[in-house]
Amino acid sequence: MNTDTGASPEDLRNRLVDAILQQDPSGLRDARVESAMRTVPRHAFLPDAPLKEAYANKSVTIKENPDADALPLSCASQPDVVHFMLVQLAVREGDNVFEIGAGTGYNAALLQHLAGSSGHVTTCDIDPDVTAYARRMLDANGCDDVRVVTRDGALGTEEFSPYDRMIAAVGMWDLPGTWWDQLAVGGRLVVPLRWRGLSRSVAFRREKDRMTSDSVKMCGFLPVIGQDGERNDYIDDDRLVRLYWDEDQPITPELLRDALTGPKSVVWTDATVGPVESFDGIWLRLSATERATCRITANPAAMEAGLHRPASPALSPALVEGDSIAYLTVERTAEDPVTEPRFRLGAVGYGSAGADLAERICAQIRAWSPARTVEPSITAYPADTPDTALPDGAVIDRPSVRLVITY
């Protein structure tokens, strides 16, 4: 049950929104979304969480996974992510909105606030425990007009379509064909899309024969149940270094078993970043230029055993071809006590083609450095679209769509 922190829920809610507007790196702003988040009481959808936790800028688990090594089954999303995804969605008064991933019902309440009395909101989840919880919370908070449906979100809810806006609160590896059918031409889809080991909130505009992005922002979400096109495995005997890749990539972890114990090639660029400056765009550029792009994670024990440190041990971009791998790395530049520390960017490679792969990563670091905030364009086409109808760019095929990523 919520407990007294000495501050009212309204004060805590306003402080949270103030902090989001000051600190959110997405740069996205919308006065209507701000108003909704200052109005809808998040704590009321998390009655078992202390007020301080309900109004902290972090996700809150509402259903644990019985598998101790697996991710939770359902969470209340982190508020700053909720904020910028709603800005990306741009809900208008009177819109018909579909949400995939019901969570606590809080996001659906925000959507109802934005769509107004003339709009309609339908939220869907595959887990009946989650939808039952969302239904209780929505009813308890005066949102009984929100439709709550227990169904695989990939099927959509055709009976209430067409939709002006669709938003997914779960990580999607594919864009189901049913969504194309149920989203009106001219509508918007915001989805945490997963490809090449990364996850980004992509805002698509629905056109007649395609969906075209106009916003791509960093995010992380629990993956949707039922889409199993992502692969992962350890590449060392001690199970300390792990790769994540897509099923369409010809990556064989067994070929890399000996690579990390052999000689390494380290290549540096002149590009540097400050201690809190993002270099996320390098990964995006790699995914748009290198089919071999994937993700590497390394346990601290791997570095203690001699592995060259990835730029971010928990999730760094890598290139893998055959028996060779290279990944992004950073190194602090010479100390200067009167200036902010800087870190130069480079890549380290292992295996017979490790040096070449490292050079290719550095080429994308150099391409990114002078235009660090530029976002790629991601265009989704139906899976039966012929090659001749696709623009130039990196093509990533999924069962339902063909993604084209360009700069």
Q: Which of 167, 191, 218 is the last residue of a domain?
A: 218
Q: What is the pTM of this model?
A: 0.89
Strand 264-273 to 230-234 pairing: unpaired
Specify the CATH number for the domain of residue 164. 3.40.50.150
Same domain, 196 and 335: no
pLDDT in tens, 220-276: 766 665 567 899 999 999 999 999 999 999 999 999 999 999 999 999 999 999 988
Q: How many domains does the chain have?
A: 2
Same domain, 21 and 170: yes
Taking the C-alpha atoms of residue 176 and residue 282, their distance in angstroms, rounded to an integer, is: 28
Residues written for the chain: 407
Residue 3 in domain: no
Q: What is the pLDDT at residue 26?
A: 77
- 314-337 pLDDT, tens digit per residue, is 999 999 999 999 999 999 987 766
How many CA atoms does the CB half-sphere of 366 hold within 13 Å?
11
Residue at 161 is within a domain: yes
**Same domain (yes/no): 74, 47:** yes
* From 74, 77, 201, 312, active-site residue: 77
Residues 119, 179 within the same domain:
yes
**377 and 213 Cβ atoms separated by less than 8 Å:** yes
d(CA 362, CA 56): 38
Note whether 214 and 234 are same-domain residues: no
Residues 54, 170: one domain? yes
End residue of a domain, out of 218, 248, 265: 218
At residue 97, the pLDDT reads: 98
> φ, ψ for residue 355 (rounded to 5)?
-65, -40
Per-residue model confidence (pLDDT) at position 129: 93
Separation in Å, CA 103 to CA 75, 157, 169, 317: 6, 17, 8, 30
Tell whether 164 is covered by a domain. yes
Tell me the CA end-to-end span of the chain in Å, nearest whole number: 49
Q: Give, for 61, the enclosing helix (H) or strand (E).
A: strand 60-63
Active site residue 77: yes
CA distance 397 to 316: 23
Note whether 172 and 47 are same-domain residues: yes
Domain around 171: 9-218
Q: Could you tell me if 214 and 247 lie in one domain?
A: no
| End residue of a domain, out of 189, 218, 247 | 218
Question: What is the rounded distance in angstroms from the CA atom of residue 182 to the CA atom of residue 156?
Answer: 7
Domain for residue 289, yes or no?
A: yes
The pLDDT of residue 71 is 46
> Same domain for 207 and 236?
no
What was the pLDDT predicted at 4? 54
In a domain, 343, yes or no: yes
What's the distance, CA 186 to chain centroid?
24
Is there a single domain that holds both residue 66 and residue 214?
A: yes
Residues of the chain with pLDDT under 50: 68-73
User: Are 71 and 206 part of one and the same domain?
Assistant: yes
What Å distances lie between residue 272 and 110, 269, 317, 331, 359, CA to CA?
Answer: 40, 8, 17, 9, 17
Same domain for 194 and 280: no
Within-domain flag for 4: no
Q: What does the pLDDT read at residue 24? A: 78
